[in-house]
Amino acid sequence: MPQARGHALVTGASSGIGTAIAREYARRGVPLVLTARREDRLQALAEELGGGVDVHVVPADLADPAAPRSLAAKVEALGVPLRVLVNNAGYGVPGRYLRSDWATHAAFLQVMVGAVSELTWRLLPALRACGDGRILNVASFAALVPSADGQTLYAPAKAFMLRFTESLALENADAGVHATALCPGFTRSEFHDVTGTRAMMSRLPKWMWLDAADVARAGIDAVERGQVLVVPGAAYRLLRFASKHLPDRFVLRRMARNSARIRSID
């Protein structure tokens, strides 16, 4: 891949897949702009990576509707060329739809849909102008299968990200921009600690767990070669194949059964 031709902006870089993506870009010599809510985490990561590449830290809370505009302005003010946008920031709201108040759901939708859409819109001209821009949207395997009990907004939000990516890839190919939806399954990170489902998720067999570093490499490799969709892990590729060819009623019954076993859905 072209080395150090422009910076990569990674949202949600303070933990999990976002941190792994930042580390992988740094390993490849790509300078970074890191953003997330937790400035202390970002600074620690910047210190870790800053010995090899240029790293800028721009804290932002994407649940704030004003954040995408402010973040885009701050990135522009840095005066660095932008080549890559990684829309990774995200989280899950545990439980069934009525368990949480609307303010909780509204903040979730702002981060997962609103901020992704607006930040991409604001930064897309710069990505097109550089001649070989890249957009890596971290979706989920949940976007590819019927939604589970307790995923009332999570799976639809990730499905939006997948379809959004497909359109971006088609619309911007003329400018040399590649857009990729990264759809990992269960990945070892802090995600399930935040949602309070770590104990339940530990019941899953080991073969269902992915390593964040492997997921990051798969996503970056895919966006560089122009692959619109990437599903890391042979097991998940097999599951996707099965879900596409089995009757919907069968898949939905399996989802209902598994939801009761591994998710907090009260």
> Tokens at residue 29, please?
């010599």
Give me the catalytic one of 25, 97, 154, 236: 154
Is 154 known to be catalytic?
yes
As a whole number of angstroms, the distance between CA 218 and CA 104 comes to: 32
Predicted TM-score (pTM) above 0.85: yes
| 73-79 LR contacts (CB < 8 Å, sep 24+) | 75/9, 75/33, 75/123, 76/126, 78/33
CATH of segment(s) 7-262: 3.40.50.720
As a whole number of angstroms, the distance between CA 77 and CA 97 comes to: 40
pLDDT of 96-112, one tens digit each?
999 999 999 999 999 99
For residue 195, CA distances in Å to 161, 201, 207, 217, 238 come to 21, 11, 22, 25, 27
Would you list the domain boundaries of the chain?
Answer: 7-262
Taking the chain (266 residues) in runs of 10, the rounded mean pLDDT of each run is 76 97 98 97 96 95 98 98 98 95 98 98 97 97 88 96 98 98 89 50 74 97 98 91 73 57 50
What does 69-95 look like in DSSP terms, one character per residue?
HHHHHHHHHHT--EEEEEE-------S
Left (φ > 0), alpha (ψ -120 to 50) or beta: where does 189 sit?
A: beta
